[in-house]
Structure 1
Amino acid sequence: MKVSLNWLNDYVDIGEVSPAELAEKITRSGIEVDAVDDRSEGLKNIVVGYVLECSKHPQADKLNVCRVDVGEEAPVQIICGAPNVAAGQHVVVARPGARLPGGIKIKKAKLRGEESHGMICSLQELGFDGKVVPKAYADGIYVLPESAEPGSDALAILGLDDTVLELDLTPNRADALSMLGVAYEAGAILSQEVKLPDTSHGETGDPASGMLNLRIDAPEANPLYGAKVVRNVKVGESPDWLKARLMAAGVRPLNNIVDVTNYVLIEYGQPLHAFDYDRLGTGEIVVRHAGEGETIVTLDGAERKLQPHHLLITNGREPVAIAGVMGGANSEVHDGTTSVVIEAAWFDPASVRRTSRELGLRSDASTRFEKGVDPNRVLAAGERAAALMEELAGGEVMAGTVLFDELDKEPVRVTVSPDFINERLGMKIPFEDMEKILGRLQFPYEAVNGLFVIDAPTRRGDIAIPEDIVEEIARLYGYDEIPKTLPVAESIPGGLNPYQAKRRVVRRFLEGAGLYQAITYSLTSEKEAQKFALDTAPVTKLLMPMSEERSTLRQSLLPHLLEAATYNTARQAGSVALYETGSVFLAEGADGLPVEVEHAAAVITGDWSGSEWQGSKRPVDFYAVKGIVEGMLDLLGLTGRLSFRKGEMAGLHPGRTADVLLDGERVGIIGQLHPSEQKARDLKDTVVMELNLEEVLRKENEPLLYRPVPKFPSVSRDVALVVTKPTESGTLESAIRSSAGNLLKEVRVFDVYEGDKMEEGMKSIAFSLTYQDPEHTLTDEEVTEVHHRVIEALEAEGAKVRS
């Protein structure tokens, strides 16, 4: 449900409460606000213009040269390509310096040799969804009413000086599928009265029953049906205020008659339907179930095959609507309509739901009917529609309502005691506060012998039992006011602290990546104790070891993991992937005991992936393990602080080893075992990784940020560089990122060449750079300027652009 605050303010005084504050209050009271949409955000310098002259562009058949009065001393020239622009129109003009949605800036420009001082706008260019733009203006500019003053603010006329709240309603809150329902909710929250719409209208002396007969053959499915007859209507466009409110609610304006029914549907939550009286042909409405094999062509142009339990509105001979779902094409209002029948009815929710589901046809009307509409608001909605048709279409409302009414409209009576409420909530709300809340909710009640006897308003169909009143009292009193208590039991369940939760995330990620967890000894030999250690310290030896092989506390997890890998490969396990999280023991603490630091390590040997039936396989390499580390730290929210540099460690390949840096500090290492080490352990190509897990998990996560999917295209530029062989690509990448600024979205190496065509001691590295701006489409000039800075930064690092 989309709620325009300008519209809502007609019924309840919001006062000085900001949209964000109101959204917060509504959410805290139990209805979640999904979005707060400031419709004027990003829009400025948008004015009304009057087209004085319009002629074809001398150099372009599809462009027009317009002289437009924008309220300044002299008219301005604007080039416009809209097919419907013409002299004598009041239009929306974005002046030079204006901003449009998406960050588009309007500047003075030349189009095919003719100057253009601004832009004549369509509704889509102002941020309207194309689905709600009137069809007459779907492919061109929007034409304002003649009363619009040139130079005045166009946003108010279009309803863009507004904020729309998008409510995520639960099924029980069908009352909030209407502006009045939301008004009652806001009134209760803000302690304000609700002002109901004016339904008064004139009446001709002729009774409506003289023109229309009504018969209900299925009263169990349609116990209430009211019909108003309005003559001498003039079908045309609705006024701008009405169109603006419908579009804000996500409804496309069609004509003043249909728009009134849609307006009242949103206002009251009561679906209405307007029939062309002359197209009915019989002066009669009969509500009955469908016959076997009967069909109807609905307003969407589709032929629907009906079943005997489907409820129909007919003219006595043939169907003219599917009750509560959609009207028929044979009775719809058109430009030549002069007399209208307004249907205001209550249909059985189960019947409407079944019909809608079986026909695969959902509409705004069926959505409301199947959840249940207020029986005491049905006829009022019909009167409101008649009043608006009299006002906006010049209609004459015939006296009275053609009515069938067997519907029980009595409110549900709920009796509840204050003690019952407080007992269920575990708190003590004073009796007087409960009375005030019921008054704010506008629930009629009596206090009798210490009990609340409440007549739940029929607009609130979700109020039926005492527990419902408990919920209403709690949410208006404030869920935050409910006291917090610990459960009383012999043992209170515990939970994971943040560090433990992160460690569990790491384990699950490594297992998800295909590694098996290993648990190895903390004790090793003195020879192996410091091998592959990230940080070394004096070793801790046992006074009375069981064996020399288990005499010393380890300072790295890798030696034992490599032993496990050798053990498994010796038993025909060709590919092994193991990880471990555990403690290493460094130096001696203040208490004389060694300091334990938790590490995470992994060993992968053999094939990383493969498919025997396709005859393909991929041996593990450095980059597979590097990707695991990147993925793990990404899951921990640390990606932006992660980097790598060339590393060295005894036992690892000198050209395939990298230090892992977090915030510039070394926290781990990745590398392939040295060939001699692999041979000694009887292993194939093996890649290892070890991280100081404790230091990683103690880092604070970066806040999670969501960015919209880019609307504008990216631009790619490639650059090939000649550098000395020792130069690292990471150094060049850092220079690129630091010089390119925010427009650079991605940089990657796509080619490295060290062939005979290069000078001795030199190599070529080629980068692909992707530039993108989330606010607009980049121009060649903008990209060239940034790319030039990148080249300068690379040259400062000693690189030469390869020609």
Structure 2
Amino acid sequence: MLVSLNWLAEYVDLQGQDPIELAEKITRSGIEVDGIEMRAQDMKNVVVGHVVSKEKHPEADKLNICQVDIGGGEISQIVCGAPNVDAGQKVIVAVPGARLPGGFKIKKAKLRGQESNGMICSLQELGIEGKTVPKAYVDGIFVLPSDAEPGQDALEYLSLYDTVLELGLTPNRADAMSMFGVAYEVAAILNKEINLPEISYTPVSKKASDVFALEVEATDANPLYVAKVVQNVKVGPSPLWLQNRLMAAGVRPHNNVVDVTNYILMEYGQPLHAFDYDRLETNKIVVRMAAEGEKITTLDDQERTLKSTDLVITNGQEPVAVAGVMGGANSEVHDGTTTVVIESAYFSGSFIRQTSKELGLRSDASARFEKGVDPNRVEAAAERAAGLLAELAGGEVLKGSLVADELDKSPKQVIVSPDFVNERLGMKISFDEMQQILTRLQFPFEVANGLFYIAAPTRRQDIVIPEDIVEEIARMYGYDRIPMTLPEGASQAGSLSSYQAKRRLVRQTLEGAGLYQATTYSLTSEEQSQKYTMYTADTTKLLMPMSEERSTLRQSLIPHLVEAASYNTARRVENVALYEVGSVFLDQGQDELPHEIEHVAGVVTGLWVDHAWQGEKKPVDFFAVKGIVEALAAKLGVELSYTQAKIEGMHPGRTATIHLGNAQVGFIGQLHPNEQKRLDLKETYVFELNLVALTADALPTIAYTPVSRYPAITRDIALVVERAVPAGTLESIIRANGGRLVTSVRLFDLYQGEKMAEDKKSIAFSITYQDPERTLTDEEVVKAHDKVVKALAEEVQAELRG
């Protein structure tokens, strides 16, 4: 909400108030001021000018040489490139020495050989946003009304000596989406009176009900509808004061009829709509629910298909507006309009919200109806608009209004005791001070039996329960005045749970290994949702997704991580190492929430080692990523095993499932070459682990073993085995049969090829034997080694390589 202090000062006395201090007071009271704009800041020497004559520049087709009266009979020659400049206009002139927004200074200059003493300005050059400039002047200079006097301060004439506050409103403060609402708030903060404008006009003798009819069929969605008829209007530009106020509020002026409805929207917070009476054709309005598939072309020239849940305004035959959202093009006010029907209504927020969402159409009107408008301002807003149309458009207001009213407009009663307020705030605000605060807020109340009986104003529809009154008293008393107290009773220092500590350890380990944390969406496409998943479960879909790409809850972290890697490599980040700790979601059937499991996953591509000085470069491979997983397991005190696997989307020969005991807890491997090509990635390796399963057991107690004082003996063994036999199986056999004397088994060679059968491979291990209590003899080592060789031969038919 943009609030012009010049406009606000019409309702509340702001004399002597510094804008910065006022913004601070408003923020302290609970409505945050997000921005402060001094509209004329740093601008000077900008005056009204009168273009006496215009002629084409002799050397430039798009430039004109203008003789401009800048006051006091002084004529200045100014070269202007605006397409709409013309003799006889009153314009905005920045004279030499002027300063414009952005530190732009105006000096005397020569343009294509012609002297130019200043600049004829557009509104954008005065810092006004292009989206709020009247369409006629978007691509040119702004033409002032004919009553502007040459030489007078143009900034003052345009009301630019003004400060605009940008309020960041929370959803409960819909009342502050209007100048009246902000006026009540500021008056309460400053303890000032509020002066709202009087509604004054003289209607003609003809009755509105004689020329127009109203029928409301959908009373649940539209319990209150008011229509007024104004005839003999002359559609044209609004007076400058009205245009200035709308532009300050971020609204583009159009014409006097539309501008009046927008002015009331900003002033009262009550959306209005103006229909061209003649275009309605049937001389009546019928409010009903739309027929399924019914169509309407709205004011933005878009044809929209309606549903039976949408509320529409019709002429009894066809829709002329989508209620509370946007009017129809078939009843739009235009330059030839002479009679106007003003609509002011109370529409149910739930209906408007649903329609706005389904049509993908959100407007200032729908935003206010969704949050709730003041039911007691509906008729007053229509009367105020009729009065302004009579004043600004020369209209004649027909007597009376057409009203359909089934709305309860009585205020809600809230009962609260002073003790209740002080107990909730932990302080002692006096009874008298509470009364003063309620009076400043203009909350009608009575006191009986030590209780406040408060009639919550309908403009404040967020005041419903006693706690709401507590909040109002607290913010007006001053949050900064609430005393600070320490909690009473026994206290206990906070700590991380076992799972939280392990999750933190996981993050530290992966970041220590060189991976960066990523956070990706939990929602993905249905196609990607079950890619790389370790589970068999149905997908969980959203009923109303933002898009197809965000329609389904994920069952794996890998798809989005590889997309992140692809995104980075496409932007010349060639070495990518990312990890994520996040949840996957497994469907548990209808009417059940999905089962949520936290996983940890990683993706690595590019160079794993890049020592430019030593000239060493090493691309990432399976074993580098497996090393990361094993380091993680070591930190968590668990032992993992690996089994070759085939997973869709993964390389068939470089993928393994990861097991903890007999349970699968994850997988590791290279993306399938086809996937890498699709994502434009080089060799890319990924892993994903069930973090809950991985951290289920307590960390083992650390046991320290003294370094043996006795020498170790190493024996190398080269075996010829079937190619299908995993090295891990051989290592397990060696450890199991070597007994306690085997302290280390290290794989150091693998050979397949020439002089080796096609189905065989040669694999070599270095085995270390050591006893921590004595020196081993050769006989003992040979005995243990022979036992290992025998077991290998029996269990996997391994042969010693000669």
Deviation at 1:19, TM superposition (A): 0.7
SS of 2:165 mapped into structure 1: strand
Deviation string 1:504-553 (CA, Å, 9 cap, x unpaired) is x9x9999858559xxxxxxxxxxxxxxxxxxxxxxxxxxxxxxxxxxxxx
In structure 2, how many angstroms separate the alpha carbons of the residues matched to 1:157 and 1:54?
24
In structure 2, how many angstroms separate the alpha carbons of the residues matched to 1:16 and 1:513?
60
Give 2:610's aligned residue.
618
Q: TM-score, normalised by structure 2?
A: 0.63
Change (3 A) 1:228 1:618: same
Give 2:773's aligned residue.
none
Give 2:59's aligned residue.
59
Give 1:125's aligned residue.
125
Change (3 A) 1:610 1:28: closer
Q: What letter is aligned with 2:164? A: V
- The 8 Å contact of residues 133 and 247 in structure 1, kept in 2 or not, is answered as yes
Of the two, which has the highest radius of gyration? 2
In structure 2, how many angstroms separate the alpha carbons of the residues matched to 1:134 and 1:79?
24
Change (3 A) 1:431 1:105: same
Give 2:759's aligned residue.
none
In structure 1, how many angstroms separate the alpha carbons of the residues matched to 2:73 and 2:180?
46
Give 1:155's aligned residue.
155
SS of 1:377 mapped into structure 2: helix
Deviation at 1:157, TM superposition (A): 2.1
Give 2:98's aligned residue.
98
In structure 1, how many angstroms separate the alpha carbons of the residues matched to 2:409 and 2:608?
74
Deviation at 1:397, TM superposition (A): 0.4
Q: What letter is aligned with 1:113? A: G
Matches within 5 A, 1:400-549: 400-491=400-491, 493=493, 512=511, 514=513
Q: What letter is aligned with 1:101? A: P
SS of 1:41 mapped into structure 2: coil
In structure 2, how many angstroms separate the alpha carbons of the residues matched to 1:100 and 1:43?
5
Q: What letter is aligned with 2:166? A: E
SS of 2:181 mapped into structure 1: helix
Deviation at 1:159, TM superposition (A): 2.3
Deviation string 1:668-690 (CA, Å, 9 cap, x unpaired) is xxxxxxxxxxxxxxxxxxxxxxx
Deviation string 1:693-752 (CA, Å, 9 cap, x unpaired) is xxxxxxxxxxxxxxxxxxxxxxxxxxxxxxxxxxxxxxxxxxxxxxxxxxxxxxxxxxxx
Change (3 A) 1:430 1:334: same
Deviation string 1:135-175 (CA, Å, 9 cap, x unpaired) is 10011000001111111111122221110000000000000
Change (3 A) 1:59 1:623: farther
Give 2:290's aligned residue.
290
Deviation at 1:309, TM superposition (A): 1.1
Deviation at 1:55, TM superposition (A): 0.6
Task: Tell me if 1:202 matches 2:202.
Answer: yes
Deviation at 1:282, TM superposition (A): 0.6
Deviation string 1:435-471 (CA, Å, 9 cap, x unpaired) is 0000000000001111000000000000001000000
Give 1:261's aligned residue.
261
- The 8 Å contact of residues 132 and 251 in structure 1, kept in 2 or not, is answered as yes
In structure 2, how many angstroms separate the alpha carbons of the residues matched to 1:20 and 1:511?
48
In structure 1, how many angstroms separate the alpha carbons of the residues matched to 2:194 and 2:267?
13
Q: What letter is aligned with 2:334? A: H
Matches within 5 A, 1:601-612: 611=605
Q: Which runs of 4+ in 1 moved over 2 A?
A: 489-495, 507-516, 609-612, 615-618, 620-624
Change (3 A) 1:129 1:623: farther
Give 2:309's aligned residue.
309
Give 1:37's aligned residue.
37
Q: What letter is aligned with 1:215? A: E
- The 8 Å contact of residues 37 and 165 in structure 1, kept in 2 or not, is answered as yes
Q: What letter is aligned with 2:426? A: G
Task: Tell me if 1:193 matches 2:185.
Answer: no
Deviation string 1:543-569 (CA, Å, 9 cap, x unpaired) is xxxxxxxxxxxxxxxxxxxxxxxxxxx
Give 1:279's aligned residue.
279
Deviation at 1:43, TM superposition (A): 1.0
Deviation at 1:622, TM superposition (A): 11
- The 8 Å contact of residues 610 and 618 in structure 1, kept in 2 or not, is answered as no
Change (3 A) 1:508 1:37: farther
Deviation at 1:489, TM superposition (A): 3.2
Q: What letter is aligned with 2:490? A: E
SS of 1:136 mapped into structure 2: helix
SS of 1:473 mapped into structure 2: helix
Q: What letter is aligned with 1:159? A: S
In structure 2, how many angstroms separate the alpha carbons of the residues matched to 1:250 and 1:65?
34
In structure 1, how many angstroms separate the alpha carbons of the residues matched to 2:350 and 2:223?
14
- The 8 Å contact of residues 611 and 617 in structure 1, kept in 2 or not, is answered as no
Give 1:750's aligned residue.
none
Matches within 5 A, 1:553-702: 611=605, 618-619=610-611
SS of 2:130 mapped into structure 1: coil
Deviation at 1:493, TM superposition (A): 4.2
Deviation string 1:57-100 (CA, Å, 9 cap, x unpaired) is 11111000000001144200000000000000000000111111
- The 8 Å contact of residues 411 and 458 in structure 1, kept in 2 or not, is answered as yes
Q: What letter is aligned with 1:618? A: D
Task: Tell me if 1:374 matches 2:374.
Answer: yes
TM-align CA RMSD: 2.5
Identity %: 66
Aligned length: 524
Change (3 A) 1:393 1:492: same
Deviation string 1:271-296 (CA, Å, 9 cap, x unpaired) is 00000000000100000000121000
In structure 2, how many angstroms separate the alpha carbons of the residues matched to 1:58 and 1:321?
53
Change (3 A) 1:611 1:458: closer
SS of 1:149 mapped into structure 2: coil
SS of 1:196 mapped into structure 2: coil
Give 2:347's aligned residue.
347
In structure 2, how many angstroms separate the alpha carbons of the residues matched to 1:511 and 1:154?
64
Change (3 A) 1:6 1:621: farther
- The 8 Å contact of residues 93 and 118 in structure 1, kept in 2 or not, is answered as yes
Deviation at 1:235, TM superposition (A): 0.3
Give 1:87's aligned residue.
87
Give 2:245's aligned residue.
245
In structure 1, how many angstroms separate the alpha carbons of the residues matched to 2:231 and 2:605?
77
